[in-house]
Chains A and B, each alone.
Chain A
């Protein structure tokens, strides 16, 4: 189409083509991303016999059963892993968010010498891949006597979560007009009151985005727990699944998948709950005084 003269309906048609394009691309991604979880869910509902039989259509369970889930939920070690993941993540999220909110506030608002350099530095540390760090960290952790203690994760995960979370929060706090804190300062607020009563509520979408980020780092981590933890009472869910449900070359697929579903449930529930805020958080800067 080389028509430069706008014919009636041509804009409409253009828009339709764009929509078609978008839907096709999006459908493709939806399929690619959702097939594995779907297969995971289906497999988790099959008995070991049905899985190993390899007969019939593999996309749905022929005789659905909750046996895998029952076994897992009745297993002390599995519940232990799950609980470890929960408390590690809870502590990591709280610690990371407290540190990043405080540091982002200080870096973006207190205006001390070197704040600019420091905020760039904070961000740069985020660019170092964690997988490069775990060997040197092993020495430090060993020196601290924390090998095979879940506390090592509580110590290490914030170092991964804080830089990026701080960076998100700095962006958010910087988009809050300076007059807002000045007005609050004149109204009689202390810096702490400004942070708690003005900045945190106004930057809530950003805080939620950063929280989800910290949550994901801790909940989904595999490398560090694998490297530093080994005994059953210290291991977290991700490592626990591999540890218990794969024996040599025997994969308990049904239970692995059920464990994955249980492991994926908390993030899914949290994301769904916070989705609106999260999306708002990704389109930062939408706060305006």
Chain B
């Protein structure tokens, strides 16, 4: 049983730079949690505090119920995979993987068995005699994972393990990591700045920004119900459109775009938004919820006219870019739709998937 608890944890570096500003997070046993966020938001710092490589300024971190604030890394029973692999260059693959077990005085046969098992699982059994410099990036990454697996630790920690690999290999290794987690279910904390990696791997995603946690939730939940403007904009690719609108109450509730177009608010949301009537707010709408018009539209659809600026045919879909009073907007239409730059295209906005953001708090209301 190895749940990880992070309670009111603060990390201040010299010069009083607060890299992590008091975060709370409960990670369940065997859960795969991904920390995601832009560069410098404190993901690595958080991970390194769990590992014990970085001291905690205040707060508590507990692993398996035991507070480990003052426990050195080697006694925390964790394993970590680094972005640059950090393999011991003078040791063979076997010795790299066996190093931790040897230091812990495991019997020889046990070490060999564990290394062989892990090597088989990771498909590196034929590389055991090689030195790291004779391996490709993907192979090194596997060895680094093998080194973590053989220890059979309470918690796996990954710090951007795939960002040194090329795009294709990254996708492949992503699947591999997921497979390993299914074979050896272990509490895992995984850091990445790639939101797709986060979405595909995580049981729960933790979105961080400027040293705080913006939102914690299952990937789908973050996608459909972002709590803040930051999460709404960070999760999803291409990113959500943000439009300055006025919420007007006039025989029903409307969002009024900068060009005067009024889009009716979905009746189901009227009670939720009503208190904000009259305010200038931000409308969040994902490109896939702004599409070509259909003959039998589902209820809660509103229409607007766009003067097409640029189109990007992607094969399965075409991205249409345009501006509403200077604000860039992206719509995602069927590739058969006729969208010619300079001409007007009528688009359907799926208002049941809209988000309304309070400009003062940056929270989704």
Contacts and interface: CB of A to CB of B under 8 A. Distances in A.
**Pair from one complex:** yes
A179 B89 CA distance: 12
Interface string B141-169: 00000010001000000000000000000
Contacts of A287: 89
A114 to B, nearest CB: 14
B73 interface: yes
A184 interface: yes
Contacts, number: 64
B217 interface: no
A188 B80 contact: no
**Interface SS majority for chain A:** helix
A184 B82 contact: no
Interface in B60-90: 72-74, 78-80, 82-90
A187 B51 contact: no
Interface in A161-185: 177, 179-180, 182-185
Contacts of B99: 184, 187, 189, 197
B44 to A, nearest CB: 11
A182 B53 contact: yes
B90 A183 contact: no
A12 interface: no
**Interface SS majority for chain B:** loop
A183 B103 contact: no
Nearest to B48: A182
Contacts of B85: 289
A289 B79 contact: no
A187 B100 contact: yes
A99 interface: no
Interface in B95-121: 99-100, 103-104
Interface in A52-72: none
A202 B90 contact: yes
Interface in B23-52: 51-52
A288 B131 CA distance: 13
Contacts of A201: 90
A186 B51 contact: yes
A158 to B, nearest CB: 28
A185 B52 CA distance: 10
Nearest to A204: B90
A182 B103 contact: no
Given A202-B89, A202-B90, A287-B89, A187 B84 contact: no
A193 interface: yes
Contact of B74 (A177, A185, A198, A204): A185
Contacts of B73: 182, 185-186
A102 to B, nearest CB: 20
B126 to A, nearest CB: 23
B89 to A, nearest CB: 6
Nearest to A193: B103
Nearest to A189: B103
A197 B98 CA distance: 13
B86 A183 contact: yes
A182 B104 CA distance: 16
B88 A180 contact: yes
A91 B80 CA distance: 42
26 contacts: A179-B82, A179-B86, A180-B86, A182-B53, A183-B88, A184-B99, A185-B72, A185-B73, A186-B51, A186-B53, A186-B74, A186-B79, A186-B100, A187-B74, A187-B151, A188-B74, A188-B104, A189-B103, A198-B88, A198-B90, A201-B90, A202-B88, A204-B90, A287-B89, A289-B86, A289-B132
Given A177-B84, A287-B89, 9 more contacts: A182-B51, A182-B80, A185-B53, A185-B72, A185-B73, A186-B53, A188-B104, A201-B90, A202-B90
In the A-B complex, the 6 residue pairs with the closest CB atoms: A187-B100, A179-B86, A188-B74, A188-B103, A183-B86, A201-B90
